[in-house]
Amino acid sequence: MPLERKNVVTSKGNPVTLLGPEIKVGDKAPDFEVLDNQSTVFSSKQAAGKIRIYNVVTSLDTSICDLQTKRFNEEAAVLGDDVEILTISVDLPTAQKRWCGAAGVDKVKVLSDHRELSFGLAFGVAIKELRLLSRSIFIVDKSDTVRYVEYVKEVASHPDYDKALSAVKALL
Protein backbone atom coordinates (compact mmCIF):
# COMPACT_ATOMS: atom_id res chain seq x y z
CA MET A 1 0.00 0.00 0.00
CA PRO A 2 1.58 3.30 -1.07
CA LEU A 3 2.08 6.17 1.34
CA GLU A 4 -0.99 8.45 1.49
CA ARG A 5 -0.51 12.22 1.83
CA LYS A 6 -3.61 14.26 2.67
CA ASN A 7 -4.25 18.01 2.39
CA VAL A 8 -1.29 18.63 0.08
CA VAL A 9 -3.36 19.73 -2.92
CA THR A 10 -6.95 20.44 -3.86
CA SER A 11 -8.99 19.73 -6.96
CA LYS A 12 -11.56 22.46 -7.59
CA GLY A 13 -11.23 23.46 -3.95
CA ASN A 14 -11.72 19.96 -2.55
CA PRO A 15 -8.80 18.27 -0.73
CA VAL A 16 -7.51 15.10 -2.41
CA THR A 17 -5.13 12.37 -1.30
CA LEU A 18 -1.78 11.97 -3.06
CA LEU A 19 -0.27 8.50 -3.21
CA GLY A 20 3.49 8.06 -2.95
CA PRO A 21 6.36 9.92 -1.30
CA GLU A 22 6.95 13.66 -1.33
CA ILE A 23 9.90 14.29 -3.64
CA LYS A 24 12.25 17.04 -2.48
CA VAL A 25 15.11 18.99 -4.02
CA GLY A 26 18.29 16.94 -3.59
CA ASP A 27 16.54 13.55 -3.80
CA LYS A 28 17.63 11.00 -6.37
CA ALA A 29 14.94 10.89 -9.06
CA PRO A 30 12.91 7.68 -8.80
CA ASP A 31 12.82 5.23 -11.71
CA PHE A 32 9.54 4.64 -13.54
CA GLU A 33 8.07 3.07 -16.68
CA VAL A 34 5.27 4.61 -18.74
CA LEU A 35 4.03 4.29 -22.33
CA ASP A 36 4.85 6.55 -25.27
CA ASN A 37 2.16 7.42 -27.81
CA GLN A 38 2.97 4.25 -29.76
CA SER A 39 2.17 2.21 -26.59
CA THR A 40 5.85 1.27 -26.28
CA VAL A 41 7.36 1.16 -22.80
CA PHE A 42 9.42 4.24 -21.97
CA SER A 43 11.79 3.89 -19.03
CA SER A 44 13.14 6.85 -17.09
CA LYS A 45 16.59 5.40 -17.84
CA GLN A 46 16.08 6.35 -21.51
CA ALA A 47 16.39 10.03 -20.56
CA ALA A 48 19.52 9.56 -18.44
CA GLY A 49 22.34 12.01 -19.07
CA LYS A 50 20.02 14.90 -19.95
CA ILE A 51 18.39 17.61 -17.91
CA ARG A 52 14.75 16.60 -17.64
CA ILE A 53 11.60 18.59 -17.09
CA TYR A 54 8.78 16.35 -15.95
CA ASN A 55 5.68 18.34 -16.87
CA VAL A 56 2.86 16.51 -15.07
CA VAL A 57 -0.74 17.19 -16.10
CA THR A 58 -4.12 15.68 -15.24
CA SER A 59 -5.43 15.40 -18.82
CA LEU A 60 -4.32 16.98 -22.08
CA ASP A 61 -7.99 17.51 -22.99
CA THR A 62 -8.42 20.17 -20.29
CA SER A 63 -7.63 23.83 -20.88
CA ILE A 64 -4.83 24.35 -18.35
CA CYS A 65 -3.07 21.09 -19.25
CA ASP A 66 -3.37 22.01 -22.93
CA LEU A 67 -1.83 25.46 -22.37
CA GLN A 68 0.83 24.11 -20.00
CA THR A 69 2.03 21.49 -22.47
CA LYS A 70 1.99 23.92 -25.40
CA ARG A 71 4.06 26.39 -23.32
CA PHE A 72 6.73 23.76 -22.63
CA ASN A 73 6.67 22.72 -26.29
CA GLU A 74 7.52 26.34 -27.21
CA GLU A 75 10.24 26.52 -24.56
CA ALA A 76 11.82 23.27 -25.82
CA ALA A 77 13.06 25.05 -28.95
CA VAL A 78 14.91 27.62 -26.82
CA LEU A 79 16.34 25.24 -24.21
CA GLY A 80 18.32 23.09 -26.66
CA ASP A 81 19.33 19.45 -26.93
CA ASP A 82 20.64 19.04 -23.37
CA VAL A 83 17.08 19.36 -22.04
CA GLU A 84 14.36 16.76 -22.49
CA ILE A 85 10.79 17.73 -21.67
CA LEU A 86 8.51 14.86 -20.74
CA THR A 87 4.79 15.56 -20.33
CA ILE A 88 3.11 12.83 -18.31
CA SER A 89 -0.61 12.19 -17.80
CA VAL A 90 -2.91 9.18 -17.46
CA ASP A 91 -4.50 9.84 -20.85
CA LEU A 92 -4.40 6.81 -23.13
CA PRO A 93 -1.47 6.78 -25.60
CA THR A 94 -3.84 7.00 -28.58
CA ALA A 95 -5.54 10.06 -27.09
CA GLN A 96 -2.15 11.66 -26.44
CA LYS A 97 -1.07 11.02 -30.04
CA ARG A 98 -4.30 12.55 -31.36
CA TRP A 99 -3.94 15.58 -29.07
CA CYS A 100 -0.28 16.16 -30.07
CA GLY A 101 -1.23 16.09 -33.76
CA ALA A 102 -4.13 18.49 -33.29
CA ALA A 103 -2.13 20.83 -31.03
CA GLY A 104 1.06 20.79 -33.11
CA VAL A 105 3.09 19.58 -30.12
CA ASP A 106 6.24 17.99 -31.49
CA LYS A 107 9.17 19.02 -29.28
CA VAL A 108 8.17 17.38 -26.00
CA LYS A 109 7.67 13.68 -25.34
CA VAL A 110 4.14 12.96 -24.20
CA LEU A 111 3.90 9.85 -22.04
CA SER A 112 1.03 7.87 -20.52
CA ASP A 113 0.99 6.60 -16.93
CA HIS A 114 -2.48 5.07 -17.33
CA ARG A 115 -1.40 1.45 -16.99
CA GLU A 116 0.37 1.21 -13.63
CA LEU A 117 0.66 4.76 -12.27
CA SER A 118 4.40 4.02 -12.13
CA PHE A 119 5.39 7.68 -12.39
CA GLY A 120 2.53 8.91 -10.23
CA LEU A 121 3.33 6.56 -7.35
CA ALA A 122 7.12 7.07 -7.63
CA PHE A 123 6.85 10.89 -7.61
CA GLY A 124 3.92 11.13 -5.18
CA VAL A 125 1.44 12.70 -7.61
CA ALA A 126 -1.18 9.96 -8.06
CA ILE A 127 -4.55 11.30 -6.89
CA LYS A 128 -6.25 8.45 -5.02
CA GLU A 129 -9.82 9.70 -5.43
CA LEU A 130 -9.58 10.43 -9.18
CA ARG A 131 -6.87 8.08 -10.50
CA LEU A 132 -5.30 11.10 -12.20
CA LEU A 133 -1.93 12.78 -11.73
CA SER A 134 -1.71 15.99 -9.76
CA ARG A 135 -0.34 18.98 -11.68
CA SER A 136 3.35 19.33 -10.89
CA ILE A 137 6.79 20.11 -12.28
CA PHE A 138 10.01 18.26 -11.48
CA ILE A 139 13.41 19.18 -12.86
CA VAL A 140 16.12 16.54 -12.75
CA ASP A 141 19.76 17.18 -13.61
CA LYS A 142 22.10 15.04 -15.69
CA SER A 143 23.16 13.02 -12.62
CA ASP A 144 19.52 12.12 -11.72
CA THR A 145 19.28 14.56 -8.82
CA VAL A 146 16.02 16.47 -8.38
CA ARG A 147 16.80 20.20 -8.65
CA TYR A 148 13.29 21.72 -8.63
CA VAL A 149 9.88 20.59 -7.38
CA GLU A 150 6.48 22.20 -7.61
CA TYR A 151 3.37 20.38 -6.45
CA VAL A 152 0.76 22.87 -7.68
CA LYS A 153 -1.52 23.47 -4.67
CA GLU A 154 -4.74 23.64 -6.71
CA VAL A 155 -4.89 21.14 -9.57
CA ALA A 156 -6.93 23.62 -11.63
CA SER A 157 -4.16 26.28 -11.45
CA HIS A 158 -1.08 26.85 -13.59
CA PRO A 159 2.41 26.02 -12.32
CA ASP A 160 5.01 28.76 -11.90
CA TYR A 161 6.55 28.57 -15.37
CA ASP A 162 9.14 31.30 -14.73
CA LYS A 163 10.56 29.60 -11.61
CA ALA A 164 10.73 26.23 -13.34
CA LEU A 165 12.42 27.64 -16.43
CA SER A 166 14.89 29.62 -14.31
CA ALA A 167 15.81 26.40 -12.50
CA VAL A 168 16.45 24.67 -15.84
CA LYS A 169 18.49 27.54 -17.24
CA ALA A 170 20.66 27.52 -14.09
CA LEU A 171 21.65 23.94 -14.97
CA LEU A 172 22.69 24.75 -18.56
Q: In whole angstroms, what is the distance from residue 60 CA to residue 103 CA?
A: 10
Residue type, 139: I
Closest to 57 measured CA to CA, from 138, 1, 168: 138
Closest to 130 measured CA to CA, from 5, 16, 47: 16
Segment 128-134 shows an average pLDDT of 97
Q: In whole angstroms, what is the distance from residue 63 CA to residue 113 CA?
A: 20
Q: In whole angstroms, what is the distance from residue 100 CA to residue 73 CA?
A: 10
Check pLDDT > 80 for residue 1: no
Check pLDDT > 90 for residue 153: yes
Q: Could you read off the pLDDT of 54-106 as tens digits, one per residue?
A: 999 999 999 999 999 999 999 998 999 999 999 999 999 999 999 999 999 99
pTM over 0.85: yes
Q: pLDDT confidence of 33, banded at 50, 70, 90? A: very high
* Alpha helices per DSSP H over 3-62: none
Q: pLDDT confidence of 152, banded at 50, 70, 90? A: very high
Segments forming the whole domain that contains residue 146: 4-171
Check pLDDT > 90 for residue 109: yes
Q: Note whether 20 and 100 are within 8 A (CB).
A: no
Residues with Cβ within 8 Å of 135's Cβ and at least 6 positions away in sequence, in order, are 9, 56, 57, 58, 64, 65, 68, 152, 155, 157, 159
Catalytic residues: 65
- CATH code: domain of residue 157: 3.40.30.10
Domain count, the chain: 1
